Amino acid sequence: MKKPLPLALFLMGPTASGKTELAIRLRQKYPVEIISVDSALIYKGMDIGTAKPDAQELSLAPHRLIDILDPSEAYSAADFRRDALQQMDEIVSQGKIPLLVGGTMLYYKALLEGLSPLPAADPDIRQQIEQEANEKGWDVMHQQLSEIDPVSAKRIHPNDPQRLSRALEVFRISGKSLTELTEQKGEALPYQVKQFAIMPKERTELHRRIELRFEKMIAAGFEDEVKALHARGDLHLDLPSIRCVGYRQVWEYLDGNGTLDEAIFRGVCATRQLAKRQITWLRSWSNLTWLDSEDIDSGVKIISAEIEHYSH
């Protein structure tokens, strides 16, 4: 008899949908260990604007993969996959169940499907491409791409130097086109995965929650948190950390663009757009069980049934 694969639970959902509350309830009742799946919670010193679980919540339910990086550092989906697999392995070896909680859908996708084997960036080749583009223009570079990789060339606009440069770089490093390489998937996840998504039934309720959360963040000193990051001098708007919703808008205000009220308004709008993108991802996701944000008890029951079924 082959040993059954260990169980892993995914708890996804748009921002402000109640994932943390549900995860904490499960952690108090079952031998689950929480792994955060959130591209903002990884950063130290970014607590209020990311709605990071507070000290009391973390004492009830410790979260792995939060506060692991300085905001000056970048973190990729591949980094997440490596770290999450290591944490999941550790949790299972302790006889517990990994519960992955968060809204960064790209991280879930990387974990579930593996990543295509793209070569790491090569600064020298990147520089050569930049230099060539400065001499000949990006239109000529785009023409080069359409000869080696017509599929990517169709998708990437000549005015998008970042993606254009990456597609050319991949070919020059590996001798294979970006299209060819992205069709090769990495290894599948060696777990029996049960996936849940939580959100309110009404979109208006989600919007209400987002606005309320933003008000609470401002009351808790969000502006001062961003001021402290701004004052460091080594952080800027091109970093993934500072581009996080909320941070970016308050940062722009600190740079002298508009009033704080305008920044808050833009932050709420950006958060709604983020939630909309997360919901779009989830709607196309397969094997999902939907839970209602306004009935956390039934969410606990539904996930409990999976845990109990697996344990027997």
**pLDDT for position 143:** 94
Sign of the C-alpha dihedral computed for residues 70, 75, 80 and 82 taken in this order: negative
pLDDT given at position 98: 98
Annotated binding residue 14? yes
Partner residues linked to 194 by β-bridges: 9
pLDDT, tens digit (0-9, with 9 covering 90-100), for 259-301: 999 999 999 999 999 999 999 999 999 899 999 999 999 999 9
**305 and 198 share a domain?**
yes
Annotated binding residue 179:
no
Q: Is 259 annotated as a binding residue?
A: no
Beta strands (DSSP E) in the chain are 7-12, 32-36, 63-64, 97-101, 192-199, 288-292
Q: Are residues 249 and 283 in the same domain?
A: yes
User: Can you give the pLDDT at residue 274?
Assistant: 95
DSSP SS3 for 39: coil
Q: What is the pLDDT of residue 296?
A: 96
Same domain, 201 and 165: no
Is residue 100 in a domain?
Answer: yes
What Rg do the C-alpha atoms of the chain give, in angstroms? 21
18 annotated ligand-binding residue: yes
**Can you tell me the distance from the alpha carbon of 15 to that of 26, in angstroms, rounded to the nearest whole number?**
19
Reported pTM: 0.81
pLDDT < 50 stretches in the chain: none
Structure tokens at 35: 């792994």
DSSP 198-267: EE-SSHHHHHHHHHHHHHHHHHTTHHHHHHHHHHHSS--TTSTTTTSTTHHHHHHHHTT-S-HHHHHHHH
Mean pLDDT (the chain, rounded): 93
19 labeled part of a ligand binding site: yes
Instruction: Look at residue 114 in the predicted model and tell me its pLDDT.
Output: 85
The predicted-structure confidence for 111-155, as pLDDT tens digits, reads as follows 998 877 778 888 889 999 999 999 999 999 999 999 999 999 999
Amino acid 1: pLDDT: 65
Q: Could you tell me if 198 and 288 lie in one domain? A: yes
Residue 263 in any domain: the answer is yes
Q: Are residues 259 and 165 in the same domain?
A: no
The confidence score (pLDDT) of residue 118 equals 79
Number of domains in the chain: 2
- 30 and 100 part of one domain: yes
**One domain for residues 99 and 135:** no
Shared domain for 197 and 289, answered yes or no, is: yes
Q: Could you tell me the CA-to-CA distances from 207 to 221, 272, 276, 295 in Å, in that order?
A: 22, 7, 10, 17
Q: Is 137 annotated as a binding residue?
A: no
